[in-house]
Amino acid sequence: MNVKIDTKEIFYVISIMDSELTANMSAILLALIAKKQEDETKSVILNFEKVQQMDKDFTPVLNILKENLYADSKSFVICNLSENVKQNLSNWGLLEAINHTPTESEAWDIVQMEEIERELDAGFPD
């Protein structure tokens, strides 16, 4: 799996450079993100701009990432979905379960807004 990682203050943007995501790539992606999170836990944006095809067997990794990151009070957003990938995720019942945006800039906004929400929530006792 070919990726480009751009590190920001509160998140990583992981741009997947492959045009197809297969089931065997899911373990590679999980390991890559786990390794990055060892240094500092940050939110994750996956940029799918180059991805044109995705195996259904790859999709469980998206739920795993979402659950793990939200459990650590971090965000997970996917951006730049091709129409084909977007349609497949919709057909598989996953599109509505994950944060996704048309552009990377909008993904940045979601991560930053969720970070502000977490900071505000931390300031108020239950």
What is the rounded average pLDDT of the residues 81-91?
96
Provide the greatest CA pair distance for the chain: 47
Q: Please state, in angstroms and rounded to a whole number, the distance separating the CA atoms of residues 115 and 74.
A: 8
Beta bridge partners of 77: 45, 99
Q: Please state, in angstroms and rounded to a whole number, the distance separating the CA atoms of residues 28 and 96.
A: 25
What's the pLDDT band for 126 if we cut at 50, 70, 90? low
Q: Please state, in angstroms and rounded to a whole number, the distance separating the CA atoms of residues 119 and 54.
A: 35
State residue 66 phi and psi, 5-degree precision. Answer: -60, -50
Q: Please report where in the chains the tokens 């899911």 appear, as a residue.
A: 26
End-to-end CA distance of the chain: 44
Angle, helices 60-71 vs 23-39, to 10°: value is 20
Over residues 95-113, the pLDDT tens digits come to 999 999 999 999 999 999 9
Q: Report the pLDDT value the prediction gives residue 122, as an integer from 0 to 100.
A: 79
Q: Report the pLDDT value the prediction gives residue 117, as an integer from 0 to 100.
A: 93
In terms of CATH architecture, what is 3-122? 2-Layer Sandwich (3.30)
Residue among 4, 11, 3 at smallest CA distance from 105: 11
Q: Please state, in angstroms and rounded to a whole number, the distance separating the CA atoms of residues 85 and 67.
A: 21
Q: What is the DSSP letter of 56?
A: G
Q: What is the DSSP letter of 73?
A: T
